Amino acid sequence: MYALKTTNLTKRYGNKIVVDKMNLSIDKGTIFGFLGKNGAGKSTFINMITGIIEPTEGLYEVLGYKKNQQKSIWGKIGVLPDYSTFYENMTALDHLKYFSQILKLDLKQEDLIELLDKVELKDAAKLKTKNFSFGMKKKLGIAQALLNKPDLIFLDEPTSGVDANSVLNIHSIIKEIATNGTTVFLTSHNLDEVEKLCDEVAIMNKGVIQIKGSMKELRTAYKKNMTVYIKHSVASIAQIESLKVDLKSLSIKNEISELSSQITIEDESSIPLINKLFISKNIDVFRIEVDEPSLEEIFLNIGDNN
């Protein structure tokens, strides 16, 4: 069962198409990264799924519930918008009490304190939010989004404006809730964060998904070949010539020198074979490094390649 599935989901404002016939499916229990440059249509897409705005056309299902079952959807999702604001004269604990009542949740004060502790706000439980830093408000927003133990949670920039230690804590929370079965829909401008956390990533551009898949699938689609750099013990002229001959069947291109080699291959399955080849010729391999495109490289160039 998919946590989220859309069919030709579209949003137009007049003649402007913001989301264009989007077909997207996300497996339950995964951490899904949703990327796009400003104006790509990400926020509009999320706002349709969460019931804030109406689609122009198309269908969607959230946790098996269809668009016309929106009230059932609301009880099973959590949302952290990037623009989280709070009532200035209410404390962190007051906020959680207030929103738990709105959601008709039977939570004791100890449960709310435990949730604040989870996001490192236990010591600020009785502090009014007008005295909160931006990072503290972000943490409170995460706590609020987790109140109902959602099956699907939307996190919009969960670590922006947060200190390094808190970033690690938020990452730990994301991994924990995903392990326990919650599907995480994550948007972030921190591409390194997305690359480390997400099982799958989609890149949106001009209202459409241009590429979707695991990091391995994204790298394969973006760049067919990879370069392997090998630092090794001294190779004689005879060993170098022998390597060049034997590497022809494993590589597209190779540059072998006395102390290091650079080999271009099509598939990473060739790497252990190349390593064994060096060893078979009595050349010790000290280090193997693979030059693969990062998510940042793919993200910055995907619009130009499609």
pLDDT of 256 higher than 60: yes
Residue range 241-268: mean pLDDT, rounded: 94
- Bridge partners of 2, per DSSP, are 27
DSSP 8-state symbol, 250: T
d(CA 188, CA 202): 12
**Full domain range(s) for residue 199:** 2-213
pLDDT tens digits, 143-156:
999 999 999 999 99
Residue range 129-150: mean pLDDT, rounded: 94
Q: Are strands 285-291 and 31-36 parallel, antiparallel or unpaired?
A: unpaired
**162 lies in the same domain as 124:** yes
pLDDT at position 306: 44
**Is 187 part of a structural domain of the chain?**
yes
**205 lies in the same domain as 278:** no
In the structure encoding, which two tokens stand for residue 119, read together? 């996001």
**113 lies in the same domain as 208:** yes
**16 lies in the same domain as 133:** yes
Lowest mean pLDDT among 58-67, 113-122, 175-184, 236-245: 58-67
d(CA 194, CA 34): 9
Q: Are strands 31-36 and 183-187 parallel, antiparallel or unpaired?
A: parallel
**Is 304 part of a structural domain of the chain?**
no
In percent, how much of the chain has pLDDT > 90? Answer: 75
pLDDT at position 85: 81
pLDDT at position 291: 86
Q: In what order do the strands lie in the sheet with 16-27?
A: 16-27, 2-13, 57-62, 65-66
pLDDT at position 292: 80
**197 lies in the same domain as 76:** yes
**66 lies in the same domain as 196:** yes
Structure pTM? 0.81
d(CA 173, CA 297): 27
pLDDT tens digits, 23-60:
999 999 999 999 998 888 998 999 999 989 999 999 99
**259 lies in the same domain as 202:** no
Pick from 213, 238, 269: which residue ends a domain?
213
Tell me the CATH number at 268: 3.30.70.980
Question: Helix (H, G, I), strand (E, B), or coil: what is residue 186?
Answer: strand
**120 lies in the same domain as 169:** yes
**100 lies in the same domain as 44:** yes
**Is 156 part of a structural domain of the chain?**
yes
**Is 199 part of a structural domain of the chain?**
yes
**Is 266 part of a structural domain of the chain?**
yes
Pick from 213, 236, 256: which residue ends a domain?
213
Residue 259 confidence class, pLDDT cut points 50, 70, 90: very high
**238 lies in the same domain as 139:** no
Lowest mean pLDDT among 148-157, 178-187, 214-223: 214-223
**258 lies in the same domain as 154:** no
Contact of 194 with 35, CB cutoff 8 Å: yes
**Is 201 part of a structural domain of the chain?**
yes
Residue range 232-244: mean pLDDT, rounded: 96
pLDDT of 303 higher than 60: no
State the DSSP H helix or E strand holding residue 16, giving kind and residue range, or none if neither: strand 16-27
Pick from 193, 213, 233: which residue ends a domain?
213
Tell me the CATH number at 173: 3.40.50.300
